[in-house]
Structure 1
Amino acid sequence: MTGHLKGNRRDWLAARLDLLEAEKELTRRGDELAQRRRELPWVRIDKDYVFETEQGRASLPDLFRGRSQLLIYHFMFGPDYTAGCPSCSSIADGFNGVATHLASHDVMLWAVSRAPLAKLLAYRQRMGWSFPWASSFGGDFNADFNVFFTEQQQKSGDIEYNYRRAAPAPAQEPLAGKTAREWQRPGEQGLVAQVAAMAGTDVATFTRERPGVSAFAIEDGAVYHTYSAYARGLDGLWGMYQWLDRAPLGRNENSYWLRRHDEYGRQ
């Protein structure tokens, strides 16, 4: 039993109408923020990035595939991982259908990771995905967009993620927020160590990669960076959580419960 407040339909409707006004205000505020995103100045990219794709080597302009807009999800899958980050994987579970709609609306959606292409494609096949995925292995793309950091940067604290400077390792678990740290109980592994193990690696190696999304536009042959978001800025892309936020108990998290979709029910 939850002990949750109970009431009759009249009580519920009164509370629901009050909540509706707040939801409408949030929607209006979201529209305003979306407009502000679109109004950010565009920054021209003059660096030549090279990616490996199923169709061969590709430049950043090539990833547009004839569209004028490009969205890249920075998927945490480093060269030393044995599998993709489970959290990124749950976000990517929603990409297949979305990518098709976006491509028909002048927007290309790609995932980009540092792992070699063969490893990415094998994992994509396991997951049953079809969206385009490119490898940036050996290049500067991930570092330049603040989703990859070196071991030296970790040790010195020379890391800026989500527009903030991070503390040197191991002073904190880099991906664990305040609530997440509370999940750890005496005698248990830390949260990030658990997730790192699910990707087949250790905490330091795992957290050199970070999640994010970046947007680009191409105009008269020139590519411009228009927007990037990281950390909780990705919540809106995480379809599962949008559903949970509307469920009776909400996110209802007291441990890292996420698994890849083919791992639920395994002993």
Structure 2
Amino acid sequence: MPGKVVCRDEWLAARKELLDKEKAAVRAAAAFKEQLRNDFPMVKLDKAYTFEDPKGKYTLAGLFQGRKQLIVYHFMLGPDDEAGCSGCSFLTDNLPSSLTHLYAADTTFVLVSRAPVAKIEQYKKRMGWDFPWYSSFGTEFNWDFNVSLDKDVKSPVVYNYKEMEKPFKGELPGLSVFYKEGNDLFHTYSTYARGLDGLLVTNQLLDLTPLGRQDVPWKRHDEYDSKDLKAN
């Protein structure tokens, strides 16, 4: 059994002590977000990119869908992959079931992968998702934002703002944020690897439990055995 069993008064004392640390963590997170909003610079984008979905082709500006902000999740699904990354699939399952609240805040959210449209649509149907999902196939978008890596082309190979110790070729996850002012587009933020952890609501909920995350080998949601999903 995790932890120890104590009386209510001892539990309350421990909870108050933990609350101080919890509040400090919340304040630190708030300070980080304030710096990101108010003090962090942005870079104007001049390169043209083309994206595609079943309805047609779009520029990066077109992905904004008329809004001022754009969040792109770089989903690991390459041209030669048979299925989307299980980790990216887990993250996508944790996204809001409705994007309406983001839209109300003048913000568009999309997925982008380097796989062709047909492969994206096939996997999207399998997972039962309706998020906007575009192909960047044939453009340099994924390379420019360091989520498609090619040890034979790019040297050194950089991911998460540092050179990788071992050569790597393929797709990696990330999230990038863009801002639109008039006709000008700006790159404001990107995060990778553990920086994506805050999007995993399942993990945030499990972190509050005695057993924690339990190092569960997350699967695509249609790959769990019935024994993994105990009935109520």
Shorter-normalised TM-score: what interval? over 0.9
Q: Is the 8 A contact 1:50 1:139 kept in 2?
A: yes
CA 92–9 in structure 1, closer or farther in 2 if over 3 Å, else same: same
Matched residue type, 1:252: Q
Cα distance in 1 between the residues matched to 2:98 and 2:177: 15
Q: Is the 8 A contact 1:48 1:59 kept in 2?
A: yes
CA 266–85 in structure 1, closer or farther in 2 if over 3 Å, else same: farther
- Across the aligned residues of Structure 1 and Structure 2, the Cα RMSD in angstroms comes to 1.7
Q: Tell me by how many angstroms 1:168 deviates.
A: 2.9
Q: Tell me by how many angstroms 1:266 deviates.
A: 6.2
The unaligned stretches of length 5 or more in structure 1 are: 170-203
Partner residue, 1:234 = 196
Match of 1:97, SS?
coil
Match of 1:44, SS?
strand
Partner residue, 1:16 = 15
Cα distance in 2 between the residues matched to 1:58 and 1:216: 16
Q: Is the 8 A contact 1:158 1:168 kept in 2?
A: no
Partner residue, 1:191 = none
Matched residue type, 1:265: D
CA 168–102 in structure 1, closer or farther in 2 if over 3 Å, else same: same
Map 1:87-98; keep pairs closer than 5 Å.
Answer: 87-98=87-98
Q: Tell me by how many angstroms 1:221 deviates.
A: 1.0
Q: Tell me by how many angstroms 1:109 deviates.
A: 0.2
Is the strand fraction higher in 1 or 2? Answer: 2
Fraction of identical pairs, as percent: 45
**TM-score if structure 2 supplies the norm length?**
0.92
After TM superposition, what 4+ stretches of structure 1 lie above 6 angstroms from structure 2? none
Cα distance in 2 between the residues matched to 1:135 and 1:233: 23
| 2:224 corresponds to 1:225 | no
**TM-score if structure 1 supplies the norm length?**
0.81
Partner residue, 1:48 = 48
2:165 to 167, 181, 198: 167
Cα distance in 1 between the residues matched to 2:61 and 2:52: 13
Matched residue type, 2:222: D
Q: Tell me by how many angstroms 1:100 deviates.
A: 2.6
Alignment length (residue pairs)? 226
Q: Is the 8 A contact 1:215 1:226 kept in 2?
A: yes
Match of 1:95, SS?
coil
Map 1:1-267; keep pairs closer than 5 Å.
Answer: 2=1, 4-38=3-37, 39-153=39-153, 158-169=156-167, 208-253=170-215, 257-265=217-225
Q: Tell me by how many angstroms 1:55 deviates.
A: 2.4
Match of 1:228, SS?
strand
Cα distance in 1 between the residues matched to 2:190 and 2:209: 29
